[in-house]
Copies of this chain bind each other. A is one copy, B any other.
Protein backbone atom coordinates (compact mmCIF):
# COMPACT_ATOMS: atom_id res chain seq x y z
CA UNK A 1 0.00 0.00 0.00
CA UNK A 2 1.11 3.58 -0.61
CA UNK A 3 0.75 6.87 1.30
CA UNK A 4 -2.58 7.74 -0.34
CA UNK A 5 -4.08 4.35 0.50
CA UNK A 6 -2.96 4.53 4.15
CA UNK A 7 -4.30 8.09 4.40
CA UNK A 8 -7.57 6.76 2.97
CA UNK A 9 -7.79 4.42 5.97
CA UNK A 10 -7.07 7.32 8.35
CA UNK A 11 -9.84 9.27 6.61
CA UNK A 12 -12.27 6.41 7.23
CA UNK A 13 -11.38 6.63 10.94
CA UNK A 14 -11.97 10.41 10.84
CA UNK A 15 -15.44 9.78 9.43
CA UNK A 16 -16.27 7.61 12.45
CA UNK A 17 -15.38 10.55 14.70
CA UNK A 18 -17.59 12.79 12.52
CA UNK A 19 -20.54 10.41 12.92
CA UNK A 20 -19.97 10.47 16.69
CA UNK A 21 -20.13 14.28 16.74
CA UNK A 22 -16.40 14.60 17.44
CA UNK A 23 -13.95 16.84 15.56
CA UNK A 24 -13.17 14.49 12.65
CA UNK A 25 -9.56 13.34 12.97
CA UNK A 26 -8.42 9.80 12.24
CA UNK A 27 -5.11 7.96 12.26
CA UNK A 28 -3.49 4.63 11.47
CA UNK A 29 -0.06 3.42 12.56
CA UNK A 30 1.90 1.37 10.04
CA UNK A 31 4.87 -0.95 10.53
CA UNK A 32 6.42 -3.01 7.72
CA UNK A 33 3.64 -1.82 5.41
CA UNK A 34 0.97 -3.26 7.75
CA UNK A 35 -1.56 -1.32 9.84
CA UNK A 36 -0.87 -2.22 13.49
CA UNK A 37 -3.25 0.30 15.12
CA UNK A 38 -6.08 2.62 14.10
CA UNK A 39 -8.02 5.23 16.03
CA UNK A 40 -10.07 8.40 15.84
CA UNK A 41 -10.66 11.41 18.06
CA UNK A 42 -12.63 10.37 21.16
CA UNK A 43 -12.19 13.43 23.35
CA UNK A 44 -15.91 13.98 23.97
CA UNK A 45 -17.00 10.34 24.12
CA UNK A 46 -14.22 9.51 26.61
CA UNK A 47 -14.61 12.89 28.35
CA UNK A 48 -10.86 13.43 28.45
CA UNK A 49 -8.72 15.87 26.46
CA UNK A 50 -5.91 13.40 25.80
CA UNK A 51 -7.90 10.96 23.63
CA UNK A 52 -6.83 12.27 20.22
CA UNK A 53 -6.54 9.84 17.30
CA UNK A 54 -2.73 9.75 17.57
CA UNK A 55 -2.80 8.90 21.29
CA UNK A 56 -5.28 6.09 20.60
CA UNK A 57 -2.89 4.61 18.01
CA UNK A 58 0.10 4.88 20.36
CA UNK A 59 -1.79 3.17 23.21
CA UNK A 60 -3.06 0.37 20.96
CA UNK A 61 0.30 -0.25 19.27
CA UNK A 62 2.30 -0.14 22.53
CA UNK A 63 -0.04 -2.72 24.05
CA UNK A 64 0.12 -4.92 20.95
CA UNK A 65 3.93 -4.79 20.65
CA UNK A 66 4.38 -4.80 24.46
CA UNK A 67 6.89 -2.01 23.97
CA UNK A 68 6.74 1.77 24.38
CA UNK A 69 9.34 2.10 21.61
CA UNK A 70 7.37 2.09 18.36
CA UNK A 71 10.44 1.97 16.15
CA UNK A 72 10.23 1.85 12.34
CA UNK A 73 6.59 2.97 12.51
CA UNK A 74 4.85 5.57 10.34
CA UNK A 75 1.79 7.43 11.61
CA UNK A 76 -0.80 8.53 9.04
CA UNK A 77 -3.12 11.18 10.46
CA UNK A 78 -5.71 13.33 8.69
CA UNK A 79 -4.67 16.50 10.56
CA UNK A 80 -1.25 17.79 11.57
CA UNK A 81 -0.69 16.66 15.19
CA UNK A 82 -1.07 19.11 18.07
CA UNK A 83 1.97 19.65 20.36
CA UNK A 84 0.69 17.00 22.83
CA UNK A 85 0.52 14.34 20.14
CA UNK A 86 3.74 15.53 18.47
CA UNK A 87 5.68 15.07 21.70
CA UNK A 88 3.97 11.71 22.40
CA UNK A 89 4.99 10.62 18.87
CA UNK A 90 8.62 11.70 19.40
CA UNK A 91 8.78 10.03 22.83
CA UNK A 92 7.34 6.82 21.34
CA UNK A 93 10.21 6.84 18.80
CA UNK A 94 7.84 6.86 15.83
CA UNK A 95 10.02 7.54 12.78
CA UNK A 96 7.71 9.49 10.51
CA UNK A 97 4.38 11.32 10.42
CA UNK A 98 2.34 11.77 7.24
CA UNK A 99 -0.60 14.16 7.62
CA UNK A 100 -3.45 15.39 5.46
CA UNK A 101 -4.20 18.99 6.33
CA UNK A 102 -3.24 21.72 8.80
CA UNK A 103 -6.11 22.93 10.99
CA UNK A 104 -4.38 24.96 13.71
CA UNK A 105 -1.72 27.16 12.12
CA UNK A 106 -0.77 28.47 15.61
CA UNK A 107 0.80 25.11 16.39
CA UNK A 108 2.83 24.49 13.22
CA UNK A 109 6.05 26.08 14.47
CA UNK A 110 5.82 24.29 17.84
CA UNK A 111 5.22 20.90 16.21
CA UNK A 112 8.12 21.35 13.78
CA UNK A 113 10.34 22.29 16.73
CA UNK A 114 9.27 19.21 18.72
CA UNK A 115 9.98 16.94 15.74
CA UNK A 116 13.37 18.48 15.00
CA UNK A 117 14.65 18.77 18.61
CA UNK A 118 16.59 15.73 19.70
CA UNK A 119 15.18 15.82 23.26
CA UNK A 120 14.79 12.05 23.19
CA UNK A 121 17.71 11.29 20.86
CA UNK A 122 15.55 10.99 17.76
CA UNK A 123 13.93 13.30 15.26
CA UNK A 124 10.61 12.68 13.48
CA UNK A 125 10.21 13.11 9.72
CA UNK A 126 7.12 15.15 8.78
CA UNK A 127 5.29 15.09 5.45
CA UNK A 128 1.99 16.85 4.76
CA UNK A 129 -0.65 17.38 2.12
CA UNK A 130 -1.64 13.77 1.40
CA UNK A 131 -5.37 13.77 0.50
CA UNK A 132 -5.29 17.42 1.52
CA UNK A 133 -8.63 18.30 -0.06
CA UNK A 134 -10.57 15.35 1.38
CA UNK A 135 -9.16 15.68 4.91
CA UNK A 136 -9.64 19.44 4.92
CA UNK A 137 -13.20 19.29 3.53
CA UNK A 138 -14.26 16.82 6.22
CA UNK A 139 -13.24 19.27 8.97
CA UNK A 140 -14.83 22.23 7.17
CA UNK A 141 -18.10 20.30 6.72
CA UNK A 142 -18.07 19.38 10.40
CA UNK A 143 -17.75 22.95 11.63
CA UNK A 144 -20.23 24.25 9.02
CA UNK A 145 -22.79 21.73 10.25
CA UNK A 146 -22.03 22.61 13.90
CA UNK A 147 -22.66 26.31 13.23
CA UNK A 148 -25.95 25.78 11.41
Residues of A within 8 A of B (CB): 43-44, 46-50, 55, 58-59, 62-63, 66-69, 82-88, 91-93, 104, 106-107, 110, 113-114, 117, 119
Partner of A50, one of B55, B67, B114: B55
Residues of B within 8 A of A46 (CB): 62
Whole-angstrom distance from the CB of A98 to the nearest CB of chain B? 20
- 8 pairs from A and B in contact (CB 8 Å cutoff): A43-B68, A47-B67, A49-B68, A49-B93, A50-B59, A50-B88, A87-B87, A110-B113
Query: CA of A85 to CA of B50 in the docked complex: distance in angstroms?
Result: 9
Whole-angstrom distance from the CB of A42 to the nearest CB of chain B? 10
Residues of B within 8 A of A58 (CB): 48-50
Number of copies: 2
Partner of A117, one of B44, B92, B106, B114: B106
Query: CA of A69 to CA of B47 in the docked complex: distance in angstroms?
Result: 9
- Assuming the contacts A106-B119, A107-B119, A119-B107, asked whether A62 and B83 have C-beta atoms less than 8 A apart, the reply is no
Residues of B within 8 A of A43 (CB): 68
Whole-angstrom distance from the CB of A54 to the nearest CB of chain B? 10
A68–B48 touching, CB < 8 Å: yes
